[in-house]
Structure 1
Amino acid sequence: MTENNKAVVRRFNTEVIEQGNVDSFNALMDVGFINRSAPAGMDNGPQGMIWFFNEILRPAIPDIKVTIHDQIAEGDSVTTRKTISGTQTGPLLGVPATGKAISIGVIDIVRVRDGKYFEHWGITTLPELLATLAQAT
């Protein structure tokens, strides 16, 4: 089970985050999915998750790449340490395009149920990146 769950998370990172594949997103998301790390005021269900990737992140970083450094699975949980990187050619959460190579460090914990994302917790270096980019503009 743990290897299958890790494969689900790898598929999500490649097909959804990197490629923006909405069909894969729909196939990998449980209808009861909850993003426990959604910012206050943001939809913490499936729609909020795909909105962030395809309406915020991908337009700002169209050459987005996800590099998975570590994955640890136990029971129905998969913890992944990864880097999301690319070139910021569009505005990112209020910061104008810089044309710079950027990277966001991420640690995610995903609960997988029946081959689908059921719950997510995560921490990222996105706030620090935004502060750095804002100072440079």
Structure 2
Amino acid sequence: MSKLKEIVIRFNKEVIEAGNHNSFSELIDPNFINHSAPLNSQGPEGMIYTFNHILRPAISQLTVTILQQIEEEDLVTTRKQINGILTGQLFDVQPTNQPIKIDIIDIVRIKDGRYFEHWGLNTLSSIVAQLKDIQKSNTLD
């Protein structure tokens, strides 16, 4: 396995799955840009905030499963899933205590062994919308 793919796997396991702040500091460039985030949260702070204040508090037993990786020059594309149990509030969706699965495709540019740029697509917004619809219909019954 290539060094770049190993960096991405390490980030997913140690930062997203385990919430390790030291690993985040080691693996993220201070000038990191997340092109998929809102303009005011494209830096490193926005990235760690998403994991530690949105996903990890809402999803217990959180795991990241790497399904496929493709490397080209300094870019690594990863198809993965975040799985867990929705035991906390996720945006304005109340806990369901049911399994949740978020499908993700990330492209990461690695520079000097660190995340330098990120582009990504995921199913989180559609999952949240579906859960809101289910919760809304359950309150109408």
TM range (shorter): over 0.9
Give unmatched runs, 5+ long, in structure 2: 136-141
TM-score, normalized by length of structure 2? 0.93
TM-score, normalized by length of structure 1? 0.96
How far apart, CA to CA, are the structure 1 residues paired with 2:131 and 2:99?
11
Give unmatched runs, 5+ long, in structure 1: none
Per-residue CA deviation, residues 28-72 of structure 1 (Å, 9 max, x unaligned), is: 0001000000035x4110000000000100000021110100000
SS of the counterpart of 2:61? coil
Partner residue of 1:120? 118
Partner residue of 2:138? none
Identical positions, percent: 53
Of structures 1 and 2, the larger Rg is shown by: 2
RMSD between aligned residues: 1.0
Q: Does 1:72 align with 2:85?
A: no
Partner residue of 2:37? 38
SS of the counterpart of 1:38? coil
Which consecutive aligned stretches of 4+ in structure 1 deviate over 4 angstroms post-superposition?
none
For these two proteins, the number of residue pairs brought into alignment is 135
How far apart, CA to CA, are the structure 1 residues paired with 2:67 and 2:42?
26
